[in-house]
Amino acid sequence: MTALENIAELKSLRIPMRDGVKVAVDLWLPKVRRETVPTIILQTRYLRAIQWRWLAHRLGLPELLDVHGSTRERFLRAGYAWVDVDVRGTGASEGRQLHPWSRDEVLDAAQVVDWVVSQPWSNGRVGATGVSYAGTAAEMLASNRHPALKAIAPRFSLFDVYPDVVFPGGVHLAWFTEEWSKFNDLLDANCYANAVGAMTRVNQSALATWARHQNRPFLAAALKVLATMGSEHLVRTGVGLLARGVRPCDGQDQTYLNQLASARANTDVHAAALGMVHRDDTGLVEDHPDIGADNFSPHTRVDALRESGVAVLSVSGWLDGAYQHSAIKRHHALGGNRRWLLLGPWEHGGRQNISPHSAARKSQFDHDEELLRFFDAHLRDAHLHDDGEFDAPRVRYFTVGEERWKSAEQWPPKSVETSTLFVQADGALNADAPETGGEYRREIRDDVGTGVRSRWRSLLGLAAPVGYDVRGEKTRHLLRWDGPALDRPLEVTGHPVVRLWVEADEVDLAIFVYLDDVAPDGDATYITEGQLRARHRKVAGWSESGAPKRTFESSDAKLLVPGEPTELIIDLLPVSYRL
């Protein structure tokens, strides 16, 4: 018997939706509970549960590899009910996933809430949370304005699909969409072992790079041997001996699950993204030519989110792709008092401490306790101020380098002051506007990049620590400008912005900008970065954060004129870092 089975009863059910499609859910009920209890819902497209073989149970793998296990257990011990959902068209659920967070999927979520509050054990109050896809699903659920949904905690998740993950700065994050689509295709075919094998292949180069940087030659050599032996095949074979695939619900068997998988007709997100350049490009789904990126983006539902009255805790980390900006945009868009923002020293998912100034690589932050306090406040009326609001600072953020948590009433904090540095003719950076201009030329190279341990690679939940080699051989080919040596510490908190005048011999190009902390010995530490595809350079205003707003729409796109100097305004991703 597992630890969860000691404290909770599990029922795997299929709930019929309005169109007859049945959605698979796992209901966990605490064995020791009050007469009625609040409920947390987590919706995933990555299989709500795995059907493990006998050997895996003997080895204790089901608990070890359950990514939501510790959080679920914490809530069950606290007397909550917990519901895991395979969203429509995935796992053991029927139907088709027309695209991520489709209209039908969002309506399904409201029906799951209907089912929950109709149960005799429910106290009529529901919360929703999740990381990444599940975090966005929680946010989309809130847009239904269901009266029983009182609070959501979208964690490490997008707010605006186009710039937050698929096209940051208008540049296609093709590696992510391709690997994410391959992974999902394998899961949808109920080929769990193959999906894990594919992630091993993706992860291996990042682990090898990390091993070399950490001066661990034995590990680096072992990874090289595994690659030579075909590590993806080895992992696929090993996992196949331990797991069958998605865990069936009551009344399902393996034959039925195989039939479900073979009938999938889910949209290939990568293929759809290859047909896009602008936000308003449509035709992403072949048999629904009117569908574009905004059809599945939470930012288009912000009015409904505000009207719902749902309390929102937005959580992200400084190297969580571009999702820390997502959390900030959500926080600003919602307005009002029922919103809280938490930004820490984390990658995607919050398992790693990404601060290069800390010896601890594993995050020491108790995410589960933070969630429990938040949901206790809104589902049990605990941890409240005298005015009835959740007793927590409106904004909490971690300053890397200073290694300290801070609180503020807004983002950026009121104490932040804007300062400007200018590129001088000799290549220096300082506060004086130059009297004469300078010119810097470079031939564009396609072998200079962010590397395999970047903030973007963390979006697939990879195990290798995130980190940047900002003084490596390849960086010699980048344009670089250094500011003066500091005579006192300097904190960079907010959204750095770079203005460049660019003259190119092409009609379009992408510019990448990095901000580094350079030590006296010349060693450098990555702080943050930004990118912009030149055709999307039009600025349509400025956000509360001080970052430029862009529509990324075709009507605002404008190609460069070869040989004509053009100003590009590039916002770097938000950060708090002390030099």
Structure tokens, 264: 């999938």
Residue 207, phi then psi, degrees to nearest 5: -65, -40
Residue with tokens 């510490």: 489
CA distance 551 to 567: 17
H-assigned helices in 60-191? 61-64, 69-77, 103-117, 133-142, 161, 174-188
Reply yes or no: is the peptide bond before residue 412 cis, omega within 30 of 0. yes
**SS3 annotation, 287-300:** CECCCEHHHHCHHH
Identify whether the C-beta of residue 220 lies closer than 8 Å to the C-beta of residue 463.
Answer: no
Task: Specify the DSSP class assigned to residue 482.
Answer: B
Q: Which of 154, 110, 427 is nearest to 315 (CA)?
A: 154
> Do the Cβ atoms of 279 and 552 come closer than 8 Å?
yes
Express the helix, strand and coil content of the chain in percent, nearest 5 each. 35, 25, 45
CA dist., res. 322 & res. 163, Å (int): 8
Residue 265 makes CB contacts below 8 A (sequence gap 6+) with: 96
Question: 74 with 164: CB under 8 angstroms?
Answer: no
The answer for residues whose C-beta is within 8 angstroms of residue 398's C-beta and 6 or more apart is: 318, 343, 344, 345, 355, 404, 405, 406, 576
Query: Residue 439 contacts by C-beta under 8 Å, 6 or more apart in sequence?
Result: none
> Catalytic residue numbers?
132, 320, 348
Pairing relationship of beta strands 311-317 and 81-86 according to DSSP bridges:
unpaired
Bridge partners of residue 577, in order along the sequence: 400, 492
- Selection from 387, 357, 325, 313 nearest residue 160 by Cα: 325
CB 168 within 8 A of CB 150: no
Cα angle 563, 567, 569; round to 5: 145
Which two three-digit tokens encode residue 373? 């306090």
Q: How far is residue 167 from each of residues 164, 330, 356, 456, measured CA to CA in Å?
A: 7, 18, 28, 12
How far apart CA 557 and CA 256 sit, in angstroms, is 49
| Distance between CA atoms of residues 108 and 111, nearest Å | 5
b (16+ CB within 10 A) / e for 6-27: eebeeebebbebeeebbbbbbb
